[in-house]
Structure 1
Amino acid sequence: MAYKVDFDDVERTGLESSSVADALSGLRAHEARYFWNKYRHEFVTSKAGEKPGIVRRVAAILEERDLHLPYEPLEVSDFTVEGVRWSFVFYRNGLEVNVLYSLDDGGKRAVGFKLSQGMDVPTELAGSFKFARQRSKLAGTIRGSYFVIKGTY
Structure 2
Amino acid sequence: MKILNRSIISGTAIALFSVSVGALAASDETCYTIKTENRLNESTGRYENKLIKTRKNIHIDVNRPDIGKAGTETTYDASGSTTPSGKVNYKWETASGGFGFIGPTDQAQVIVKTDDASGVNAYTRITIIDPECKIANSSRIDVNYYP
TM-score of the pair, normalised by structure 2: 0.27
Mark the structure with the bigger radius of gyration.
Answer: 2
TM-score of the pair, normalised by structure 1: 0.26
Instruction: Answer 1 or 2: which has greater helix percent.
Output: 1
